[in-house]
Amino acid sequence: MFHFDKYKEKVFNWCSSSKGSSAPLGSFTNLPISTGIQGKRMLSALGHHRRSRLTIITTFVFLFTFSLMLGVDSASARRKRSRKAVIPYRSILLIEANTGRVLKAKNERLGTKPASIVKMMTALIAMEQINRNIIHLDDIITTSRRASRIGGQQVYLKQGEKFSLRDLMKSIIISSANDSSYAVAEHIAGDAEAFVELMNQRAEELGMTNTRFVNVNGLPPGRNKPTNRMSARDAGILARELIKYPLIMKWSITKSAPFRNGSFILTNTNTLLGRFRGMDGLKTGYHRKAGFSIVATAKRKNLRLIAVVMGSSHSRRRFKEAKRLLAWGFTQYRWVDLGKTKKPKRNQVKVLSGKKRMVRIRLKESVAALLRRGEEKRISMKLELPEEITAPVRAGQKVGRVTYELGGNKLGGTDLVAAEPVEKLGFFQSLIQFW
């Protein structure tokens, strides 16, 4: 960018003076001008100086304006670079919860610092052990010294305080309590270190290949110590397991709840609750080095989606991105009953030696597929059905099979069965029918 401020005065002074003379141009106007040759020369000189002055001023105005334009463009470019420099997330994932089908993803296998997303595994192990009657929701847990000294997001457990496992689990799911996670881990495994081994073992069983746990709550470890690691893909796998438990979903949709006889209020860290239709979970995470993360799930009609945003640069950005992913998914995808969308052209089969000449057929079971908007028009159907069958025919007896495909990929299929029984004709009845 050009800077002319320090030259303004010099330029204007120069423009107002005659080139090669100390006399100002304005002095020409005060001179008596004769009509002779000398007067014409003076008029010519005066016009020349005026044109020179006009040219210089015009050039200055042009350059000054151009410099301002450069400044605006430069500022605009800096703003654009600044916007580009902001990383909205490290990885994202959108999946359908029932099948695990990936609908959208970026860097989904990248191992990142999950922060409190780690507590999903703590909760899963607890719920699985409750299901196997190893531990119980009414178990009373006494807070240890180590649990009482855990920092970060917490319910401020005091050493010796007693709470039910149910209350501590609620505080983990609703308000992401670090101290409660530690107390639950000690109750299950004896100490937190042994519980971490259970966490890593379960992660391996689930196929979470880019995950490693070092503690039970996701807090950053000390300097030069290994840290928790989890990919968006693995967070999706973990979420699919956790949402199988109705009690977890009941807690994760709760905006606030009393704790410690009402003297402390648990506040849900998921601000999308009540602000996004169908939102009912699941877990947020944050610490300075990890950034802001969320595993969000929502259900509309018969479609449940799970969105994962890892390592966002700002709290609002993770919620905005999760909301964007889920909204896109609900707009683009739906479960389609293929039997209703693409019905077999033949709905009955000829019966030989039967009291009925034809038997109606039906699909043994419904076949549903997750389809993107407009894909149902491209579904093809393969029908395996004989021209005739012989009586007797039982209701529900397999007659054939139907298979549905999309672009060469199998979507599903089911048997075609008799919708009604057909009895076999007697000998004389067969003769009459034959003739």
- Pair 325, 92: CB distance under 8 Å: yes
Give the integer Cα–Cα distance in Å for 274 and 394: 52
Task: Report which of 305, 321, 385, 286 is spatially closest to residue 106, judged by C-alpha positions.
Answer: 321
- What per-residue confidence (pLDDT) applies to 37? 52
Look at the block and give the residue holding tokens 């997001």: 153
Give the integer Cα–Cα distance in Å for 197 and 216: 10
List residues with catalytic annotation.
116, 119, 176
Domains and CATH numbers, the chain: 5-84 (no CATH), 91-332 (3.40.710.10), 342-434 (2.60.410.10)
Angle in degrees, CA 258, 261, 265, rounded to 5: 25
Look at the block and give the residue holding tokens 């683009």: 332
- What per-residue confidence (pLDDT) applies to 71? 54
Name the residue type at position 125: I
pLDDT tens for the chain, 435 residues long, are: 444 454 445 544 544 444 444 444 444 444 444 455 555 554 454 455 555 555 656 555 555 555 555 554 555 555 555 455 566 899 999 999 999 999 999 999 999 999 999 999 999 999 999 999 999 999 999 999 999 999 999 999 999 999 999 999 999 999 999 999 999 999 999 999 999 999 999 999 999 999 999 999 999 988 889 999 999 999 999 999 999 999 999 999 999 999 999 999 999 999 999 999 999 999 999 999 999 999 999 999 999 999 999 999 999 999 999 999 999 999 999 999 999 988 888 999 999 999 999 999 999 999 999 999 999 999 999 999 999 999 999 999 999 999 999 999 999 999 999 999 999 987 555 555 555
How many Cα atoms within 13 Å fall on the side-chain side of residue 36? 3
- What per-residue confidence (pLDDT) applies to 129? 98
Task: Report which of 196, 193, 195 is spatially closest to residue 211, judged by C-alpha positions.
Answer: 196
The H or E element spanning position 429 is helix 427-434
Name the residue type at position 66: F
Alpha helices in 25-142 (DSSP H): 37-85, 119-131
CA separation, residue 424 to residues 239, 351, 435 (Å) = 55, 9, 17
- What per-residue confidence (pLDDT) applies to 201? 99
CA separation, residue 402 to residues 158, 365, 375 (Å) = 63, 11, 19
Alpha helices in 111-231 (DSSP H): 119-131, 145-148, 165-175, 178-189, 192-206
